[in-house]
Structure 1
Amino acid sequence: MRKPVPSPGLPRLLLLAAGLTGTHAALAQTLPTEIAPPPAVTTPAAPEPEPVSTMFIPSVTDENTEPLRGVKVANASGSLSAVTDSVGQVRMDAPQGEVLILSIDGSEVRRFVVGTSLRPIILLDTKHPAVARLKPVQLLNSTAIRPDLTAASTQTIYYNDLQKLPVTSFLTALTGRVAGLQTFSFSGQPGNDIVGASLLGQSPTVVIDGIVRPIYAFDLEEIESVTVLKDALSSAMLGVRNSNAGVLNVTTRRGTPGQPRISFTVQSAIQQPLKLPQALDSYNYATLYNEARVNDGLAPLYTARDLELYQNGQDPIGHPNVNWRDQVLKKSSQLNRYTFSASGGNKYAKYFVSVEHLNQSGLLKTSDINKYNTSNDYKSYTLRSNVDLQLNKKLSAGVHLLGRILDSNDSGAGISSVLSSIVNTPANAYPVYNANGSYGGTQQFQNNIQAQAIGSGYRENYRRDVIADFYLKRSLDELTPGLWARATGSYYASLSENIARNKAYATFLQTTPATGEPTYQQFGANGDQANGNGIANQNNTTYLEAALGYDRQLGAHGLNAIVLGSRQAFTQDSDLPYTTQGISGRASYNYQGKYVAEFAFGLNGTNRFPDDGAFRYGFFPAGGLAWNISREDFMKSQQWLSYLKLYGSYGLTGNDVPSYFTYLQTYFDTSGPYFGTSAGQASGISEQVLANVNRTWEKAQKLSVGVQGAVLDNHLGFTLEYYNSKYYDLLQQRGLSTSLIGQQYPDENIGQNRNYGFTGQLTYQQSFGKLSLLMAGNVGVQQSKVLFADEVYRPYPWMRRTGQRIGQSFGYIADGLFQSAAEIAGSATTVGYRPQPGDIKYKDLNGDGVIDQLDQAVIGNTQPTVPFGASLSLRYGSFDFSVLAQGVLNRTVYLSGGSEYAFQNGGFGGAFEQHLDRWTPDNPNATYPRLGLGANPNNQAVSSYWVHDNNYLRIKNVELGYTLPLGLSSKARLQSVRLFASATNLLTFSQYDRIDPEVFNNAYPQQRLLNLGLNIKL
């Protein structure tokens, strides 16, 4: 028998799974002891005549250094075998050169060779279906459970995928990665890039480190994972704050024992606006304007000479032709991001610290005439510190801190006003500058856009956020093994302050007579800078929690349970606090890991409801069952099936829709009435919206069933789920109310809706020598229906909202454009309007010969909305490549407003490229009706004419990376060096491609980002 020798230290081992990041792939090139997972075991030559046996203590983690529990490590003969513990470690006497096999649920994941100089780190890719089953699901209130031991419907996105996009909102980073989750970018403005989310057709609640917090802007490198909780079982503990559609559960990163891991990332991106309205030049504008006047029975405004001067540009003052978009907006802007993080620890303390600085410039051009910045720029500074302590064998504690400084800048007029003016100001309105350098303007257009951008002063917004979380956790093993208690406290404060330094400016109309000097007519006046500041908003939140938990395996029986009491108080500005409190809990039981039964509940309420006991607190239970079929003895012969689980849940959720004490009748002061003379004036009060003393929670009964599995030796994983949720007691105003009482009716719990559909996920992962491949796809089929709405009487079925999709639009059904007076005479008449050829023709649905409100029906899509996403990752040697695509099918968009209609604002507004294809007798198949000035009650009525297909496919992200070989980086004492280039919103394929499918109607445009980055790990 060989005599063991003292270990020179923990041997270092790096296990690379099939789908590693570029950093890990580069490390693999330098490890001669690492071998690919071939069908047969290949034993390398021993470095010595007799291999030395040593205590082998590898730590099995994922690619984010999170420990994995339950991984079997064994040699080929089975004489050496162990399973990783709660910190991902195994202990065994293994000789150097021994080939060990890593397996999960009997499926081989990777092979490696015991070495002498490699540290005990084994990295597994979380995208591997078998590995994913070992990653704990992060549930509510900082609890976790293995995904195969829960009946809840969840999906988790990890750090490596989240940080691929150089964005500020983690919602944007989730786009295209979660089945059933649809995100909407309403604006691309720096510091205000508003993103909405719809999960299974409803708005989800955001929970951060176990506490409800409406925070979306993040340093993405500080997020360990976002777990999407989709069903009643996974979200029941929230009780009245379930927001009807599940939870986005954000978990920030923690330290892990081991040597310090230091990472520095620098990124620099060019931002380019995707879509902006294409305004006409002066010649085309004037041509169409004359045509519109003639259509309205007026004489043309512009002469042939005017049109000639607009076209040749010989009179830039009297006949200007200004492209205002190019004049005041940049072609591109800059985004720079710097992130530093460090993590590590030992058995007594663990830490994760990160610092980030983001500098994002806006689209507004600036001028050297100012000594201050007038562009819409944004800067942020973020510090995160998560420290977890093991005070003694039974007592642990944690201090988790976040501090943020968010600074934004803008012109005095504001970017929104500038964008609005660009849309509403034609190219020939006025010159940018007059001959004497003054701002151009007219009686109609006094707000020179250039002056708005650089001459109106500037404004700043300063926001400060602070979060402090504390916890103490004690093991109560002396009472019974697996029992523990935890106390948590949290404070969150936010302050937003505006500073306005506005300047007034004058504009001038230059008139040049045939002989003599130009004259100037002034509009407005130049003024000194006016300084002001004020608190835009401030709020704070306190949270207290006491929890008792139990986690134990008794032979074949496993039990995981928690019960807690919590209280959260939120104060906004001068409002009275909004407080929620109550108890909640969850219990999960499994037998032999095959059969799972789970129960969860929330019993809580808020102070915004009547304090009579019946309405202040609500009870929201949920239960679920799961069956791991593949672990049954009769399934072991099915070699093609690696894993299969059936699961389902049913429960009740609540949504308090926190109103401001609407169960109390309120009265406001009003102007006093007069009795006789003015001397007899008396004060008065006005009764407001009627109180609703019976107001209660909105509720939902949710059913979710699914199947999850893996085949082909865990290479192909799949999940398919069906959900059906009935929402009732929805707050709505009664449609059959009467106005005779002279007051507005309150919202009442009378509405009923249903959301139902399917979600599916598919992943395929395979290695071919040095090449590893990962493909993933997800899809959601979302349908909804109004079950009951107390609507006004509508005599025809096509008018009724009940039975239609939730939020369904109604309007007139367009039937093309009138082509002749004869066609108009033979068609139904329009109430209050006499159509002309080129006007929109509408269907007379009830056949009474009149177009009126009785002919309004469903417009837009009524089919299920289908959000989808797909990703591809390739790794070969030191190179890695990934692409993410996302989109939506069966969606429509309604367009209106100044950027859609021509010559708005009383006939003085702008006109755009789509108006060139207007109806004329020579263009009967036009896409735009005949032109006219100002509002047209027929053509601009809400109708299907302005509804467009909004199906699209967007290449959301493309990334190419290269990791330096370890031999090169190690010479500089670096763990890894990775260079990468990425593009966000690279390409968009849309069925109606005149607009961006997400940001339109003159909002700040969506941005395309072309990004270069460098990551260094020490």
Structure 2
Amino acid sequence: MSEKKLFKNLRLFFTFLTLLFLSAQGFANQATPPSIQDSSQLKSIKFIVLDENDIPVKGIRLNNLRVNISVQTDSLGMAQINGILNDEIRVSLNDVFLRKYVVGTNQSQIIRVDGKNPLIMKQKAVVLTNDILVSPNMTTGSTQAVYNNDLVKFPVTSVKNALIGRLAGLYTNQTSGRPGADEVNVSLRGQNPIVLVDGIPRDLTRIDLEEIESVTVLKDAVSTAMLGMRSSGGVLAITTKKGVAGMQQITLTAQGGIQSNIKTPKVLDAYNYSLLYNEARVNSGDLPVYTQADLDAYRTGSDPIGHPNVNWQDQVLKNKSWFNRYDLNFRGGGTVARYYVGLEYQNQKGQFVESDMNAYSTNNNFSNYTVRSNVDINLTPKTTLGLHLFGRIINSSQPGANADNIFTSILNTPNNAYPVYNENGSYGGTTQFQNNIYAQTVNSGYRLNYRRDIITDLTLRRSLDEVTPGLWAQALVSFYSGLSENTDRSKSFAVYKQTGSGSTATYQLYGTNGTQANSTGTEYQNRQSYLEGAIGYKRSFGLHNIDAQIRATSDNVNSGSELGLNYYGGSGRASYNFDERYTAEIAFGLNRTNRYPKGSPMGFFPAAGLSWDITKEKFMPKLSWLNDLKLFTSYGRTGNDAAGYFVFQQFYVGSPSSYFFGTSASSSAALRQDVLANPNVTWEKSDKFNIGLKTNLFKNHLFIQAEYFNNKYSDLLTSANLSSIVGTTVRNLNIGINRYTGYELQLNFQQSLGKFSYFVSGNASTLQSKVIFQNEIFREYSYQSRTGLPVGQPFGYIADGLFQSQAEINSSAKIAGYAPVPGDIKYKDLNSDGIIDQFDQTKLGTSKPLVYYGATLGFAFSGFDFSVLLQGVANRNLLLTGNSEWEFQNGGFGQAYEHHLDRWTPATAATATYPRLTVGNNFNNDIVSSFWMHSGNYLRLKNVELGYTIASSFTRKIKVSSIRLFVNGTNLLTSSSFDRVDPETYGGVYPIQRVVNGGLSVKF
């Protein structure tokens, strides 16, 4: 698409949003709440409860202490009490209402009626809900949420990156820092969670953090059962901001930061490389290739062409780059219409150097344009229409040689391979190294990716109170369209090997100069249409509270060229609460997809939960330090759709020849059977048990929640290990069984001391997995069995130090197919047969439960606010192999690193931490063993933020609601048990970025 056409489409899109915004604002202005006359008896009183981000809060209960009448806020954060009903004065001036908090990190609040309507109150630390959840006091499920104020502290492009260290049970691991590809991998209690955006399944996490109201994790069976066969992995439920009744609020936030690489591999300079290379060749039985004159030239730098010393990381990577983000959002409305409109622009520069000779960028850049418009209109007093629109344009670029290939070249290219430039200005190169890394970076052209996403959600909700109070119905239609296009403008370049110097220099050409690619193609085109119909009932009868709903859904997904995938079925849940003491909840999902054989039954996934608020019991003593104590538990079955692409159908492929009773008939073509089908494929299942306790202590200053889960995953699609028996590859069968167990703990403490307030919060989780069954092949020795060990447990040899002498070698077990020498790795003979072979492989690393945790602390005082987030992992394995760990790989021409200086030699035998050096792959040393297994434990100073809000006495004078200045940093410090590499990104990938960021937020 041309830039002219692109900008034309953008103008049309923004014009449409502007008209929609103005229309919604017109509706809102027609319906501002009237004021109430100052009288002792009121016709009615209305409450609006907003959180600290001005987001409406559902499910907050307010009790009139005079007449013991309570009311609960709805989805708009509103609650209303009629002043007089049946001659009963239900509310009057000076009545006192007690507001009860849902999550007890704040104390309850007393509100006195003063005649103003509505009473707008601020609320902190509540569990916001979406349509799948119920009110917090009506659910028995395991959930936890992160809110907008914490999310926006991170200068990141994906909401997943802003969740690190915030939520118990959520494990994160970032494997790349490359712009546009730096999203962390997340797992929830060991599984991959599905992402819901406003209740609709879609993996859309690179969205504006400012537009997100909250992110809630749903962990157990009762909270996810309604998703049916997509419920086993848990849920990341993203709720976007909606409009609120009140004056229009405009917020502008501008911020910018400096990025730098956390850690890159420490390579050897040319002198040390050559010295060690000679040593390795001698150890390998070859002659050294570098003379003393060569070594001197590398050491002194006297011959930069013939004896170059180029640190390629310094040559092609910058010390810093820029990150910018700008947000503008509008929010407001009245009783008829409410709106939220948000616009964002992000720009993240890469770390590759660029050249002035290019009229285009060859850096790895990422930019993101996002628009969100959420408008809710009351068509009638009982009918609400919601029109929610989302648009996103992502532009990214990288060098024509591809960013990943450049890092691979850095791994494979020693500092003495060739100079950047020859004397005549041509690119240096050799027969072995024809990809000059600097030329790959700045002279290989460029590649572009354009991605466009549009979402439209239309919701119609109708109250059916005329049928019976509390009854409602809802219809939802959603459409998503995504397109990704790649433009290839890469070009080739030639390199030259210079021999001699000056006028007698000669140049050997390798490669071709200036061959230009010029193509544009669609990478993928995705579509999703989602339909949902629901009917629900929510009502209180004195001490009895009921909340129930039934839904029917159809989710059609078209991904690229694949045939459409359709999830369809129904779901439901019902919750009963008595006197806010006892809650019983049931939920179910009933669905299937078209990836299973015709006639297959629908999957049924039921779950149930119970909770008990002990402190409300009469037998409980009234303890001043114990404010709330609640037990909750759940059990149920969830599902996972892992069948794949029509694996129940048998496919046949062409074969150039055929066989008849073992006799070749090569002259005739034939069809042969492809991978053997699995006609009985079904969905994977999980039986989940969860039990927990939550309590509020010391006047609700301290909140504690502790949980234990035990999840059994069965019918896992696992290799049947039958290929050698049936003579062909067999598709995975539903035979695997795994179990995951763990403990989770959340702590929150906060207190106000006059103008000074502070908080401390933390979470810690353990995760233990176990293989119960996987149809394991016969293994002679029990220590080689995978069954009973953690899922994914690595296997290899147990290193027993380094051989120190020939006498030690002679007295040790023989290594099959290899004659070791002093300095080689020695392995344990586990079966005591005198031979080191495959029968001596066993589990490597720790089998202890994985532990991951996060802690946040901060304070606020006189306009200043400060917070710190720490995040870490324990009992984690780190297996380092390949080009980034071993010396002189890549056919013997590869890189070497500083840790190779600690290699074994006769002189360093007592202190060596690395085996003797060899060239190329070493049959004995370069295999998976405990020698290369290290601790992956680490603790990061993940985020720090300092802010200052300018006093309102000043902002009122300039007609501004508030001004906040802030500075924050991400990935500032790391302490790790094994600190030679970054504990998350290693092996020659784009390093994680450290970001120091500052900005300004203005509310009008």
Could you list the per-position Cα deviations for residues 923-975 of structure 1 after superposition, in whole angstroms to 9, with x for gaps in the alignment? 12322111000001110111111000011111110000000000111111111
Of 212, 231, 238, the match for 1:223: 212
**Contact map agreement 1:674 1:681 (CA 8 A) in 2:** no
**Residue 838 (structure 1) aligns with:** 823
Which residue matches 1:181? 170
Q: Structure 1, residues 890-924: CA drift from partner, whole Å, max 9, x if none?
A: 10110111111110011100001111111111212
**Cα 1:70–1:198 shift into 2, 3 Å:** closer
Matches within 5 A, 1:161-180: 161-180=150-169
Q: Which moved more, 1:115-124 or 1:397-406?
A: 115-124
- What is the aligned counterpart of 1:663 among 648, 673, 693? 648
Equivalent positions of 1:699-718 (< 5 A) are 699-718=685-704
Per-residue CA shift, 1:861-915, capped at 9, x if unaligned?
Answer: 1000001010002001100000111111110110111111110011100001111
Q: What is the deviation of 1:423?
A: 1.1
Closer, same or farther: CA 9–386 of 1 in aligned 2, 3 Å? closer
Kept in 1: contact 2:657–2:666 (CA 8 A): no
Q: Which amino acid aligns with 1:499?
A: T
CA distance in 1, matches of 2:778, 2:643: 30
Give the whole-Å Cα distance in 2 for the aligned partners of 1:604 and 1:119: 44
- 1:581 corresponds to which letter in structure 2? Y
Alpha-carbon deviations, 1:448-497, whole Å to 9, x = none? 00110011111100011111111111111121111111111111111111
Give the aligned residue type for 1:899: S
Matches within 5 A, 1:780-819: 780-819=765-804
Cα contact 2:128–2:214 (8 A) shared by 1: no
The TM-score normalised by the length of structure 2 is 0.92
One-letter amino acid of the structure 1 residue matched with residue 439 of structure 2: A
CA distance 1:104–1:189, change in 2 (3 Å): closer
SS in structure 2 opposite 1:635? coil
The alignment yields a C-alpha RMSD, in angstroms, of 2.6
| Mapped partners of 2:246, 2:386: distance in 1 | 18
For 1:66, the aligned partner's letter is I
* Alpha-carbon shift at residue 733 of structure 1 (Å): 1.1
> CA offset at residue 206 of structure 1?
1.1
- Post-superposition Cα deviations, 1:483-524, rounded to whole Å, max 9, x if no partner, equal 1111111111111110001111110011116x8521111101
Do structure 1's residue 588 and structure 2's residue 587 form an aligned pair?
no
Instruction: Give the match's secondary structure for 1:714.
Output: coil
CA contact (8 A) 2:878 2:936 kept: yes
1:137 matches 2:129: yes
| Distance change (3 Å), C-alpha of 1:82 and 1:969 | farther
Give me the whole-angstrom Cα distance separating, in 2, the residues matched to 1:52 and 1:266.
48
State the shift of 1:633 in Å. 2.2
Does the residue aligned with 2:900 lie in a helix, a strand or coil? helix
Asked whether the 8 Å contact 1:482–1:550 carries over to 2, the reply is yes
Give the aligned partner of residue 728 of structure 1: 714
Deviations 1:520-548 (A, max 9, x none): 11101212422011111111111111111
Looking at structure 2, the residues matched to 154 and 352 of structure 1 have their Cα atoms a distance apart, in angstroms, of 26
Q: C-alpha separation between the residues in 1 aligned to 2:139 and 2:271? A: 68
Match of 2:139 in 1: 150
Contact 2:107 2:701 (8 Å CA) reproduced: no
Larger CA deviation: 527-536 vs 399-408: 527-536
Amino acid at match of 1:137: T
CA separation in 2, counterparts of 1:848 and 1:624?
Answer: 55
- Would the aligned equivalents of 1:564 and 1:584 in 2 still touch at CA under 8 Å? yes
Deviations 1:185-235 (A, max 9, x none): 111110111321111111111111111112221211111111111101101
* 1:288-303 equivalence runs, <5 A: 288-303=276-291
> Superposed, which structure 2 residues align to 1:451-600 within 5 Å?
451-512=439-500, 516-600=503-587
Q: Which residue of 2 aligns with 1:998?
A: 984
Q: Following the alignment from structure 2 to structure 1, what is the Cα–Cα distance between the partners of residues 574 and 607?
A: 11
Q: In the alignment, residue 168 of structure 2 is paired with which amino acid? A: A
State how far apart, in whole Å, the 1-side matches of 2:548 and 2:113 are. Answer: 39
Alignment check: 8 A CA contact 2:160 2:183 kept: no
Choose the corresponding residue for 1:264, options 246, 252, 256. Answer: 252
Q: Is the 8 A contact 1:72 1:102 kept in 2?
A: yes
Please give the alpha-carbon distance, in whole angstroms, between the structure 2 residues aligned to 1:799 and 1:635: 54
Cα distance in 2 for residues equivalent to 1:477 and 1:889: 54
Distance 1:247 1:490 in 2: 19
Q: Would the aligned equivalents of 1:701 and 1:725 in 2 still touch at CA under 8 Å?
A: yes
1:733 partner letter = S
Aligned to 1:865: 850
Q: Which one is further off, 604-613 or 662-671?
A: 662-671
Partner of 2:121: 122
Does structure 2 retain, via aligned residues, the 8 Å contact 1:583–1:604? yes
Does structure 1 residue 965 correspond to structure 2 residue 951? yes
**Matched residue of 2:244: which SS?**
coil
TM-fit CA distance, 1:147: 1.6
Kept in 2: contact 1:102–1:108 (CA 8 A): no
Contact 1:650/1:704 (<8 A) preserved: yes
What's the offset of the Cα at 1:824? 0.6
Aligned pair in 2 of structure 1 residues 568, 996: CA closer, same or farther (>3 Å)?
same
Cα pair 1:964 1:978 within 8 Å, conserved: yes
Is the alpha carbon distance of 1:119 and 1:450 closer, same or farther for their aligned partners in structure 2, counting shifts above 3 Å?
A: farther
In the alignment of these two chains, the number of paired residues is: 955
Matched residue SS, 1:391: strand
Q: Which amino acid aligns with 1:805?
A: P
Deviation at 1:101, TM superposition (A): 6.9
Q: Distance in 1 between matches of 2:112 and 2:222?
A: 43
Return closer, same or farther for 1:372/1:108 CA change in 2, 3 Å cut-off: closer
Instruction: Indicate whether 1:639 and 2:627 are aligned.
Output: no
Report if the CA contact (8 A) 1:475-1:483 is conserved: yes
Query: Residues 621 and 89 (structure 1 numbering): CA distance in 2 closer, same or farther, change over 3 Å?
Result: closer
Q: Does the C-alpha gap of structure 1 residues 909 and 397 become closer, same or farther in structure 2, counting only changes over 3 Å? A: same
Match of 1:450 among 424, 431, 438: 438
| Aligned-partner Cα distance in 1 for 2:666–2:494 | 46
1:343 equivalent among 302, 316, 331: 331
Q: Does 1:627 align with 2:612?
A: yes
Q: Which residue of 2 aligns with 1:109?
A: 108
Query: CA contact under 8 A between 1:136 and 1:145: conserved in structure 2?
Result: no
Structure 2: unaligned runs, 5 residues or longer? 1-31, 84-90
Q: CA deviation at 1:108?
A: 5.0
Q: Deviations over 1:809-849 (max 9, x none)?
A: 11000001111111111100111111111111000000000
Partner Cα distance (1:115, 1:311) in 2: 84
Return closer, same or farther for 1:319/1:104 CA change in 2, 3 Å cut-off.
closer
> Retained in 2: the 8 A contact 1:411–1:457?
yes
1:743 counterpart letter in structure 2: T
Q: 2:228 aligns with which of 211, 234, 239?
A: 239
Cα distance 1:533–1:383, how it changes in 2: closer, same or farther (>3 A)?
same
Question: What is residue 729 of structure 2 aligned with on the other side?
Answer: 744
Q: Which amino acid is 1:621 matched to? A: P
What is the CA–CA distance in structure 2 between the aligned matches of 1:245 and 1:839, rounded to whole Å? Answer: 44
For 1:317, the equivalent position in structure 2 comes to 305
Aligned-residue offset at 1:638:
2.3
2: CA distance between counterparts of 1:214 and 1:81? 43
Residue 589 of structure 2 aligns with which residue?
602
Corresponding residue SS for 1:801 = coil
Aligned 8 A contact 2:828 2:836 in 1: yes
Task: Work out whether 1:424 is the aligned partner of 2:417.
Answer: no
Q: Does 1:361 align with 2:349?
A: yes
Which amino acid letter does the alignment assign opposite residue 510 of structure 1? Q
Once the two structures are superposed, residues 112-166 of structure 1 have per-residue CA deviations (whole angstroms, 9 ceiling, x without a partner) of 788999995322222xxxxx3xx4433xxx2442222211111111111111101
Over 3 Å counting, the alpha-carbon distance change for 1:400 and 1:152 in structure 2 is same
Aligned residue number for residue 193 of structure 1: 182
- SS at 1:846's partner residue? coil
Change (3 A) 1:741 1:73: closer
CA distance in 1, matches of 2:925, 2:515: 46
Structure 1 counterpart of 2:928, one-letter code: V
Q: Is the 8 A contact 1:72 1:104 kept in 2?
A: no
Residues 1:413 and 1:635: Cα distance change in structure 2 (over 3 Å): same
2:200 to 192, 211, 225: 211
Post-superposition offset of 1:679: 14
Contact 1:54/1:95 (CA < 8 Å) preserved in 2? no
Which has the larger displacement, 214-223 or 55-64? 55-64
Partner residue in 1 for 2:320: 332
